[in-house]
Amino acid sequence: MMAFFKLLARNRLALLGLIVIGIVVLLAVITPLLPLADPDVTDTPNRFKPPFSSGAILGTDHLGRDLLSRLMWGTRLSLAMGFAAAVIAAALGSAIGIIAGYFGGRTDNLIMRGVDMLMAFPYILLALAIVAALGPGLMNALIAVAAVNVPFFARNIRGITVGIAHKEFVDAARLAGMRDRQIIVSEVLPNVAPVIVIAMSTTVGWMILETAGLSFLGLGSQPPQADLGSMLGEARAALITNPHTSVVPGAMILIIVMGINLLGDGIRDALDPRLKSGALSRPMAATQVDRKDPVPAATNSLLDIAALRTEFRVRGRVYKAVGGVDLHVEKGECLGIIGESGSGKSATALSVMGLVASPPGVITHGAVHFDGADLIGAPYKILRSLRGRRVAYIFQDPLATLHPLYRVGDQLIEAIQAHEQVSKPAARARAIDLLKSVRIPNAENRIDSFPYEMSGGMRQRVGIAMALANGPDVIIADEPTTALDVTVQAQILSVLSDLRRDRGLAIIFITHDFGVVGQLCDRVAVMYAGRIVEEGPTDAVLSAPQHPYTSRLIDCVPTLGGGQRKLAAIPGRPPMVDRLPEGCAFADRCDKARDACRAGDIALVATDAGRKTRCLFPENMERARA
C-alpha cells in the first residue's frame, strides 16, 4: 500500500490531479460558509455584467445572478451528483457482480445475459430512456446515470469474484459451516473492495460529465437550482452576446473532469505491474549505441565481432548481457555458439544487426565489422539495407516470429521486395522457388497458407526460406530447432547443412545443444555469463573440452536431440549478470575452483591450435599436448 502511494506521488501529473480535485472538493464543501451572494436572487437590471465588475468578480448571468456564487453552488451540486451516481452504481453493480460471480452457474448466466443486453445499448440513449420514463428532474437524472453505469461495475466485479470464489480460503470457510452471506461479507468483499474503488475512481469523471450533460439538455436539475450542466444550458442562448456566462461553468467542468482523469490515470499506472517493470516500452528500429571507447580495428574476416558489450538498463539496474565478446566467421563456415539461456548468446547474435530490443538494450563497447565496415552505430539506412540482404536471421518458434495475419507467401514476397524492385508476380515465383529449396512439398499451394495453418517444422522452413530470400552471405540462426521435435529438428539441420554447402553460406548457429553443434558446426564458442569461456574446432572441443563448464555441458548431453532439462543437471545457477562475481564467473559451480580463481579477471588465452580457454586450470591439457 505504501509502495502504491509512493508510486502515485512520483507521478507528478497524478499529484497535480489530486491537488486540483482536492481544492475543488474543499471549496465545494465550505461553500455554505463563504461570504457569497445568494445564488438564486435575480437582479435583472444588473444582468450580464462582465467579469471583474465591482460586486461580481465573475460577472452576472442573464437574470443578474452572481456568477461566482452560482458557480460554487453549481460545482457543489455537480460533484455531489457525480459522486452519488458513482456510489449508487458501484454499490448496485458490485452487488450484482458478486452474486453472479459467487454463485455462478444459472444465476451467473441469467444475470450476465441481462448485463450484456444493457451493454448493447449506447449508454446515453439508455439514460435518456430512463429520464423519459421518470420525467426530467435532478433525482431522476441521477438515477438514470447511476443505472447505465451499473453493468460496467457488474461485469468487472463479477470477473474478480469468480477468481476469488474458487480460492482455498473460501472453500475453507464453506467447510467451516459459514453461510453464503457471511462468506460474501467477510471473505469476498474485502478482496474486491480495492477493485471497486479503482473502478469508481476511473468512472466518477464520466458520471460527472453525464449528469452535467443531462442537466445541459434540460433533463436534470430544474431552475432555479442549478448544477454546472444546467448553468451551461441556460447560458447557451446568450453564447454569442455574453460568452462569459458559458465559459465559466464549462471551464469548471473541464477542470474537474481533467483533474479526476489525471488522478485516475495515475492510480491505474501505479497499479499496473507492467509499467513498473518497464515492459510496456517498445523496441526502437535499431539498438541504441552508447560507445565512448575507441573502436577496434577491422580485420579480414567476413564478419568479425570484437570486444562487444551489450547491456540491458532496467530501472537503474545494469544487466551486462554481453560482456566483451570476440568472434569471427568466414565465408562458408559454420560457427556454433552454445550456452545456457541467459548466457548472452542471443544478445550477441542480435547485436550484430542492431536487433537487440532497445530500450532496454544498449551497445556500449566494441565493434561488429562486416566486410570491413563497422555496423555498431551505423546509420539506420545502412543497417536496414544490410538486414536480410547480406546478413539474415532465423529465429526460434516461428509461430511467434512470423506475422500471424499475413500469408506466408506475402511475407516472403515482402522480404524480396524490401531490397529489390521486383514485380509482385516475379517475386511470387521466386518465393515459390524458395519454399521448394527448403523442401516444402506442394509449395505452389502452401504459399497461400497462414502461419497458423502450418506445422512447426513447415513454419520453420518458411523462416529459413525467408532468410534465404536475398541470397545473404551470413545467416544467424538463433535456436531455430529448439521448439521442434527431434525428427523435424534433424530435417531442418540437414536443410541448413545442404544450403551451406551449395551456396557457401556462413552460418552462426546459436543453441544450447551440443548434439546439434557436433552435427553442423566447424567451430564452436561456449558462452557463460556474457563471455566466451572456450572456443575451438568442434571436434577438438567435443573430444577434449578444456573449460570445466564445457566438459560438464558435454557430459550432460550425450546425443543429438535437445533439452534444457539436461543442462540444468549442472548444480547451481549461472550468476545474475547485474551482479557478476570477481574473477571466474563459473567459480561457484566449479569443483576445481581455488582461491586464485576468484582473485581477478581471467583472460581468454590460446591453448592449442585454434583453441582458447578462459580458465586458470584447464582440463585435458595433457591429452591435447600429447
Partner 1 sequence: MTGYILKRLVSAIPVLLGISVIVFLIMALIPGDPATAILGSYATPENVEKLNRDLGLDQGLVARYFIWLGNMLQGDFGRSFALNRPVIDEVLDRFGATLILAGTSFVLCSILGIAAGVVSAARQYGFADKAITFVVLLGISIPSFFLGMMMILIFAVKLRWFPVSGMWPIYGDRNFLVLLDHLAMPALALAVVATGVVARLARSAMLEVLRQDFIRTARAKGVRERRVIWRHALRAAMVSIIPVLGIQAGFVLSGAVYIEMVFQWPGVGRMLVDAILKRDILLVQGGVVFIAACYVMFNILVDVAQALLDPRIKT
Report the site for ligand SF4 in 556-585 (rule: CB under 6 A). Answer: 584
Q: Would you state the cell numbers that stand for residue 38, as one nine-digit string?
A: 445568494
155 vs 589, which CB is nearer to ligand SF4? 589
- Residue 617: contacted member of ligand SF4, partner 1, none (CB under 5 to 8 Å, by partner type): ligand SF4
Stretch that binds ligand SF4, among 194-202, 347-355, 420-428, 587-595 (CB under 6 A): 587-595
Helix (H) or strand (E) run with residue 130 in it: helix 123-134
Residue whose cell numbers read 507528478: 12
71 vs 212, which CB is nearer to partner 1? 212
The DSSP code for 279 is T
Q: Which of 3, 33, 240, 626 binds partner 1 (CB under 8 A)?
A: 240
Give CA–CA dist 439/442, Å, rounded.
Answer: 9
Return the residues of window 354-413 that contact partner 1 according to CB under 8 A.
355, 357, 380, 384-389, 392-393, 395, 397, 400-406
Stretch that binds ligand SF4, among 149-157, 189-197, 287-295, 611-619 (CB under 6 A): 611-619
384 vs 439, which CB is nearer to partner 1? 384
- Interface characters, 500-539, with ligand SF4 (x: CB under 6 A): ----------------------------------------
Q: Does 136 bind partner 1 (CB under 8 A)?
A: yes
- Interface characters, 538-557, with ligand SF4 (x: CB under 6 A): ----------x---------
Return the residues of window 421-480 that contact partner 1 according to CB under 8 A.
450, 452, 463, 466, 469-470
Q: 325 has which bridge partners?
A: 308
- Residue 40: contacted member of partner 1, ligand SF4, none (CB under 5 to 8 Å, by partner type): none
- Residue 615: contacted member of ligand SF4, partner 1, none (CB under 5 to 8 Å, by partner type): ligand SF4
Q: How far is the CB of 265 from partner 1 (least distance, A)?
A: 8
Q: Pick from 352, 243, 371: which is nearest to 300 by CA?
A: 371
- DSSP letters, 322-355, are EEEEEEEE-TT-EEEEE--TTSSHHHHHHHTTT-
Q: Does 602 bind ligand SF4 (CB under 6 A)?
A: yes
- 3-class SS of residue 607: coil
Return the residues of window 211-270 that contact ligand SF4 according to CB under 6 A.
none
400 vs 596, which CB is nearer to partner 1? 400
Q: Does 617 bind ligand SF4 (CB under 6 A)?
A: yes
- Contact indicator for 246, 222 with CB cutoff of 8 Å: no
Give CA–CA dist 301/298, Å, rounded.
Answer: 8
Strand order in the sheet with 531-537: 391-394, 474-478, 506-511, 334-338, 523-528, 531-537, 612-613, 605-606
Q: Does 159 bind partner 1 (CB under 8 A)?
A: no
- Residue 586: contacted member of ligand SF4, partner 1, none (CB under 5 to 8 Å, by partner type): ligand SF4
486 vs 621, which CB is nearer to ligand SF4? 621
126 vs 524, which CB is nearer to ligand SF4? 524
Stretch that binds partner 1, among 127-135, 187-195, 331-339, 490-498 (CB under 8 A): 127-135
Other CB atoms within a 10 A radius of the CB of residue 259 amount to 21
Give CA–CA dist 79/136, Å, rounded.
Answer: 19
Which three-class secondary structure string do you get for 69-111? HHHHHHHHHHHHHHHHHHHHHHHHHHHHHHHHHHHCHHHHHHH
Return the residues of window 256-315 that contact partner 1 according to CB under 8 A.
257-258, 261-262, 265, 279-283, 285
- Residue 112: contacted member of ligand SF4, partner 1, none (CB under 5 to 8 Å, by partner type): none
Q: Which of 592, 601, 610, 623 binds ligand SF4 (CB under 6 A)?
A: 592
Q: At what angle do helices 228-235 and 67-103 cross, to 10 degrees?
A: 130
332 vs 359, which CB is nearer to partner 1? 359
250 vs 618, which CB is nearer to ligand SF4? 618
Q: At what angle do helices 2-10 and 12-30 cross, to 10 degrees?
A: 100
Q: Does 528 bind partner 1 (CB under 8 A)?
A: no
Helix (H) or strand (E) run with residue 203 in it: helix 189-216
Contacts 24+ apart (CB under 8 A), 100-104: 100/154, 100/158, 100/161, 101/157, 101/158, 101/159, 101/160, 101/161, 101/162, 101/164, 101/165, 102/161, 102/165, 102/180, 102/183, 102/184, 102/188, 103/180, 104/162, 104/165
Q: Which of 67, 434, 587, 604 binds ligand SF4 (CB under 6 A)?
A: 587
Q: Pick from 504, 11, 514: which is nearest to 268 by CA?
A: 11
Residues whose CB falls within 8 Å of the CB of residue 170, separated by 6 or more in sequence, listed in order: 164, 183, 187, 188
Give CA–CA dist 607/387, Å, rounded.
Answer: 36
Residues whose CB falls within 8 Å of the CB of residue 87, separated by 6 or more in sequence, listed in order: 200
- Interface characters, 97-116, with partner 1 (x: CB under 8 A): ----------------xx-x
394 vs 590, which CB is nearer to ligand SF4? 590
Q: Does 67 bind partner 1 (CB under 8 A)?
A: no
Phi-psi region of 290 (alpha: psi -120 to 50; beta: other; left: phi over 0): beta
Which residue type is seen at 326?
Answer: D
- Interface characters, 430-469, with ligand SF4 (x: CB under 6 A): ----------------------------------------
Q: How far is the CB of 568 from ligand SF4 (least distance, A)?
A: 19
Q: How far is the CB of 73 from partner 1 (least distance, A)?
A: 19
Q: Does 593 bind ligand SF4 (CB under 6 A)?
A: yes
**Which residues in this chain contact ligand SF4 in the complex, by CB under 6 A?**
548, 584, 586-587, 590, 592-593, 597, 602, 615-617
